[in-house]
Chains A and B, each alone.
Chain A
Amino acid sequence: MNAWIERQRGLIDFAVANLDRRRGRNLGLFLAYVLVVFLLASVVLYGDALRREARQLLADAPELVVQRLTAGRHDLMPADWAARLEGLRGVTRVQGRLWGYHYDPAVAANLTLLVPAEGAPEPGRARLGAALARSHGLGPGDVLSLRDHVGQARAFIVDGLLDTASELANADLLWVSEADFRAFFGIAPGLHTDLALSVANPREVRKVAEKVLERLPGARVISREEMGRTYDAAFHWRQGLLLTMLSLILLAFAFLAWDKASGLSAEERREIGILKALGWDTEDVLRMKLWEGALVSVSAFLAGYLLAWLHVFHAHAPLFTAVLKGWSVLYPRFALRPEADFAQLAALALLTVLPYVAATLVPVWRAATLDPDEVMRE
């Protein structure tokens, strides 16, 4: 056992000396490696964090949303539709919602105005998503001025920031009172944007949706699951696009690694011959090279992953914002919440470390199984 440890120590010493001897080459490889892991891990971490955000959003969403369609387009909900759904079996609550988009030319961005079911601000006041407040440089007590549907400026006093359970949601969100909302968009009393239905038993959701359609022909019913799938599909698609581009980079890196790490120089082949001639087993040579490859790839992997982590969770992923998020012009500065996922970490490690180590070992193994008598000649 002691001999085994001493032997590994000797092999590691030699591996470290080797890395040091070919410092320039190994440094180049290390940096390329870090870059690849950084890009790959950034995409994965960012995509996963966004998907978590979306799921968070949905967790607070009602089981069913009912919209009115007119000529195939989303239209305002008449006052009596909610009443027509009262008493539907399995539905615990029917609520008319008020929300809408407003384009603000001052910041060239879309805002989402919303009247919350509970805790709406007083008329003349508004509550802002934290990210939105940040991007406008607004805080409690400041005044936000927006032009309403007839072009008249309306001032809202900011009376608080929305809690940031999901920054994605709060990034463009503005809470106002019902009276202000109707005045701002010119929506008559009684009309709503859509209806939110709470269904206690998840297994009844589909049944309830069918019954809603029976009672309200011309309505569109959207379940929370469907919204989730749509979100996921959008994320997957974008992430897939990025991963495809990245796999090209990865391929280029594989070639580089193959060429640089595995293409044994005549010098290296000679050295392997010397070691063999001096009584090193093929296994010893392989193990030493394994240490060499592991030191480079594991440290590069950790460095790349750490950088990706900082990039995504502390620097707000400046490299990917445009591609992955895309749907809002507002480019809010997200603070995505980090979450460790060891399966994902292991998969990434496997994907990057294994091919590298294999690429290094194969040619060494070939050189190490040759007769060492070449060493006796020049």
Chain B
Amino acid sequence: MIELADVHKTFNPGRGNEYRAIRGVTLAIEPGRVTALRGPSGSGKTTLLGLIGGLTRPSAGRVRLDGRDISALPERFLTRLRRDAFGFVFQQFQLIRDLSVLENVMLPATPTGRPYRRVRARALELLGHLGLAARADARSQWLSGGEAQRVAIARALINDPPVILADEPTAHLDSALSIQILDILADLRRQGRTVVIASHDPLVFSAGLVERVVDLRDGRVAP
């Protein structure tokens, strides 16, 4: 269970370009379900996803994971949480150039100290599931958009986290590829994972996997 209690996020506080991206969000995200954050561009979806996943800290309010307040955790613990509890799928994929697909997928496992061979086997298994077995040795910049998105998903899964956070997972894909990605996310839900999607793509909401929609507008939850 992820709970947000009156969460605020202000960028550049006290400066001329101060911007209040999140303005008091209270929200409970149920485990094992697919939740979607919906709203126009600039409404604060990405920022909220970052707050949930511990990429950044709230300016005010609390974020709790399974009852534990994570907004005040020291950096080291927050990092561990990002590694073990959350799998991120970023909007821009954020794969590392010139590294192979396999190396990119294995990257989040490095700090865990799990044996190389086991991590590699798991990465290949994930790539196989996602139809990328043949691309394991390709350099990440050679991938098509659909392939890159699936590699990003495999990377998010390498440490087997209970929560997957996906930012605009269909943004760069045509309808057929979008549906393929949504099927994969539905699969993750069937494996018992919590999935949080940030999107303003109507296709995401008509595909039938989203169980709960949270509407965002100007950094607030719309009624």
Which A residues are within 8 Å of any B CB, using their own CB? 2-7, 9-11, 13-14, 17, 21, 267, 270-271, 274-282, 284, 371-373, 375-378
State in angstroms the CA–CA spacing of A4 and B91 once bound together: 33
Pairwise interchain contact B110-A281, C-beta atoms closer than 8 A: no
Asked whether any CB of chain A lies closer than 8 Å to the CB of B33, the reply is: no
Residue of A nearest to B159 (CB): A279
Which B residues are CB-close (under 8 A) to A14? 103, 107, 110
**Nearest chain B CB to A187 CB, angstrom units:** 79
Number of interface residues of B (CB under 8 A): 38
Q: Mark B89-118, 1 if CB is under 8 A from A, else 0.
A: 011101011110001001111111111100
Pairwise interchain contact A278-B116, C-beta atoms closer than 8 A: no
State in angstroms the CA–CA spacing of A274 and B93 once bound together: 10
Pairwise interchain contact A280-B103, C-beta atoms closer than 8 A: no
Pairwise interchain contact B116-A284, C-beta atoms closer than 8 A: no
Asked whether any CB of chain A lies closer than 8 Å to the CB of B49, the reply is: yes
State in angstroms the CA–CA spacing of A270 and B109 once bound together: 19
State in angstroms the CA–CA spacing of A11 and B56 once bound together: 25
Report how many A-B pairs have Cβ atoms within 8 Å: 95
Asked whether any CB of chain A lies closer than 8 Å to the CB of B82, the reply is: yes
Which A residues are CB-close (under 8 A) to B108? 278-280
Which A residues are CB-close (under 8 A) to B113? 2-7, 10
Asked whether any CB of chain A lies closer than 8 Å to the CB of B24, the reply is: no
The 6 closest A-B pairs by CB, nearest first: A279-B83, A3-B113, A10-B110, A373-B56, A7-B113, A21-B98
- A-B contacts, 15 of them at CB < 8 A, read A3-B112, A6-B114, A7-B113, A10-B106, A21-B97, A274-B96, A279-B79, A279-B80, A280-B108, A280-B110, A280-B111, A281-B111, A373-B50, A376-B50, A376-B55
Residue of B nearest to A281 (CB): B79
Pairwise interchain contact A3-B114, C-beta atoms closer than 8 A: yes
State in angstroms the CA–CA spacing of A14 and B83 once bound together: 17
Asked whether any CB of chain A lies closer than 8 Å to the CB of B167, the reply is: yes
Asked whether any CB of chain A lies closer than 8 Å to the CB of B75, the reply is: yes
Which A residues are CB-close (under 8 A) to B15? none
Residue of B nearest to A282 (CB): B75
Contact A278 to B50, CB < 8 A, known contacts A21-B98, A284-B111, A375-B94: no
Most buried by A among B46, B98, B106, B159: B98
Asked whether any CB of chain A lies closer than 8 Å to the CB of B201, the reply is: no
Pairwise interchain contact B116-A376, C-beta atoms closer than 8 A: no
State in angstroms the CA–CA spacing of A3 and B56 once bound together: 28
Which B residues are CB-close (under 8 A) to A371? 55-57
Which A residues are CB-close (under 8 A) to B55? 277, 371-373, 375-376
